[in-house]
Amino acid sequence: MPKDLKRYYGQDHLHYLTCSCYHRQPWLATPRRRDLFSQILEETRRRYGFVVVGYVVMPDHIHLLISEPERGTPSTVMQVVKQRYARSVLRREKRGSGQCELCPDSEEHVWQRRFYDFNVWSARKRIEKLRYMHRNPVKRGLVLEAEQWEWSSFRSYAYQEVGRVGVNLWPEGGLKIRGAA
């Protein structure tokens, strides 16, 4: 890991986080796996006390826009989410194969070691990051319209729907909170 990596915490900024699956492998390619990731994210949100402003779960990466947690840091949150998801899917892979002798001795990687963290301190940047996240499934050809992708915060903003992850909305009139289903 580079020694010059700087993460800026403690300034009450939002954090735009991006994390990719190892070698862009599609560890999140199925609805069941995206649901599992969403469930783990929601459990972690509640446990560490952070606000999810936006998110999208793609087949090979995720984007989150979150506040700093009440407990820990965004790095703690990412470590917990990544570890819990990896352990769960790797356990299911081995159990589902029925042939553990074919499973490699060394643990398979699910996530890249690092994650990208961009501090978001202005309304303009917050909107820019939300638009990018919500348009990502359309840009990647997964759906024709953002509202069709179930694993993002788009429908919470567009239709005030309660989604898989509790999302805090910032429309022009102020803060609105939507809990998880």
Average of pLDDT values for 164-172?
73
Distances from the Cα of 123 to the Cα of 83, 128, 172, angstroms:
32, 9, 10
Structure tokens that stand for 108 in this block: 């398979």
Is 55 exposed, middle or buried, given 0-12, 13-18 or 19+ CB atoms closer than 10 A?
buried
Average of pLDDT values for 40-68?
95
Q: Hey, what's the torsion of the CAs at 135, 141, 143, 144, to 10 degrees?
A: 80
Domain boundaries of the chain, sorted by first residue:
14-178
Q: Which amino acid appears at position 155 of this protein?
A: R
pLDDT, tens digit (0-9, with 9 covering 90-100), for 114-157: 899 989 989 999 999 999 999 999 999 999 999 999 999 999 99
Instruction: Assign domain 14-178 to a CATH class.
Output: alpha beta
